[in-house]
Structure 1
């Protein structure tokens, strides 16, 4: 089922989101100071290309620089991205076939709002642990 949903997602909206995030990542990497934002944009773009069967997990070892970067990201880019994902999710939710795609768009909101200090993992392989090693 994930394969079918990912292929439908790829055709209808995933490819365009991927291209947008990749273009933003290239622009951010051209400006030397914003390279961490470019890398985060590349990570979000790959996740937007194939979202079903993957989850976003917060890295417990992300430090203060991730927090400062996330504050800058929210002010400069994050809230625009969240608004775009919400509007797209509402548009996709108009049809029954679009409901899972709308859900995938809503899954992109946390990582597009706070991308630094987040990891994208396969849902099948990730086993959360409560220990800090």
Structure 2
């Protein structure tokens, strides 16, 4: 029940625009053939940004993106977009952490900052 309440508050207070932004970024990346490897990662982040409580970000152990190719793609992502996206989530997290009620939201923003730094080779899974 607490997860549901936190998710609804997150959704109302900014989760929906954040998820739409990540989804549209994924569409833009899909249009540019060069950005195609990042499209699914952006959509994965959009799903996490929409309803984050009850989910966690994990590193994929298998697959092409979990090896050297994923590392190269993450370096390119970090240079072009990852660092400033993560910085934005970090700044928002600091603002949320100032209030006691905002601490759970700050933790989720820090998780979004983490995945924004290097999204390739990461997955979002449900926590039960």
Residues 16-57 of structure 1 show CA distances to partners (whole Å, capped at 9, x for unaligned) of 110111111111110012111122111101111111111111
Q: Where does 1:1-133 land on structure 2 (aligned, <5 Å)? A: 1-61=2-62, 62-124=66-128
Q: What is the CA–CA distance in structure 2 between the aligned matches of 1:23 and 1:39, rounded to whole Å?
A: 12
Gaps of 5+ in 1: 125-133
DSSP 3-state at the match of 1:51: coil
DSSP 3-state at the match of 2:56: strand
Q: What is the CA–CA distance in structure 1 between the aligned matches of 2:46 and 2:72, rounded to whole Å?
A: 22
DSSP 3-state at the match of 2:61: coil
Q: What is the CA–CA distance in structure 2 between the aligned matches of 1:50 and 1:34, rounded to whole Å?
A: 25
Q: Comparing both structures, which one devotes a greater share of its residues to helix?
A: 2
- Normalised to the residue count of structure 1, the TM-score between the two structures is 0.88
Instruction: Tell me how large the CA RMSD over aligned residues is.
Output: 1.1
| TM-superposed deviation, 1:93 | 2.1
Matched pairs, number: 124
Gaps of 5+ in 2: none
DSSP 3-state at the match of 1:36: helix
